[in-house]
Amino acid sequence: MAGKRRGPGERAGLSLQQIVETARSIEVESLTMQAVARRLGVQRSALNYYVADRNELLRLVAFDAFEGAFAAVAVPEFTEWQEAIRWFGLQASTAAMATGQLVEYFRYQGGSAGSPLEALESYLAVMKSAGFDTNTATRALQMVADVAFMWARDRLLSSREGGHPQARELKNALADTPEGSYAAARELIERGDQFGAAQLDFAINLMIDGLKQRLGEA
């Protein structure tokens, strides 16, 4: 009986991990399916057995960078739920920063043991122990992850030449107004720390304060 026919990627001796590792060695601006195929010495069609197109390739590379950064830090034994929230937010933001220019392509898609799943299990355990129901604990986790990813995105955008697009647009808008007008907006621009670490700390602490109140009302 004939064996199962192998696809182009299998015949080329490729694996998804091999493709992702090769892609990570290429500058983002030059990262295409063809560039990866050329680096691996195969036809581009061989990659399609594992990766549909460039957008999926970028998402895979972003996730690999995120997972690697997250898994590099041991998950602590949480004793307080506030500690779990803060740790998860800071670690998620650090891992998101590791995706660099690909932060906008990042999508969490699950992982192996010893990666974000271990942190998720530890987080949910301490939240339930504190008295939060599963729904609240899950929504809180999603919220802190959203805060972390949005902060990382803004932080990376602000580090580019010309600064963050929103800050640049506000500066341009103020440039066309009389001097001395819109004092509050000018003060905001002059501070220049909207996307610093203090902003992330503020968001996480504000979230913790809100959860404390909800826990007290339960």
Q: Mind listing the pLDDT tens digit for each residue in 103-148?
A: 888 876 554 444 567 788 888 999 999 999 999 999 999 899 889 9
What is the pLDDT, as a whole number, of residue 30?
Answer: 94
- Rounded Cα distance between 114 and 102, Å, is 23
Give pLDDT tens digits for 51-101. Answer: 999 999 999 999 999 888 888 888 888 899 999 999 999 998 998 899 988
Non-local (6+) Cβ contacts of 100 within 8 A are: 28, 65, 156
- Rounded Cα distance between 97 and 99, Å, is 5
To which residue do tokens 């506030």 refer? 82
What is the pLDDT, as a whole number, of residue 2?
Answer: 45
Q: What is the mean pLDDT of residues 171-198?
A: 79
Q: What is the mean pLDDT of residues 30-39?
A: 96
Q: What does the block give as tokens for 32?
A: 């295409």
Locate CATH 1.10.357.10 in the chain.
61-217
Q: Is this model's pTM higher than 0.75 or not?
A: no
Which homologous superfamily is 61-217 in?
Answer: Tetracycline Repressor, domain 2 (1.10.357.10)
Is residue 156 very low, low, confident or very high in pLDDT (cuts 50, 70, 90)? confident
Is residue 32 very low, low, confident or very high in pLDDT (cuts 50, 70, 90)? very high
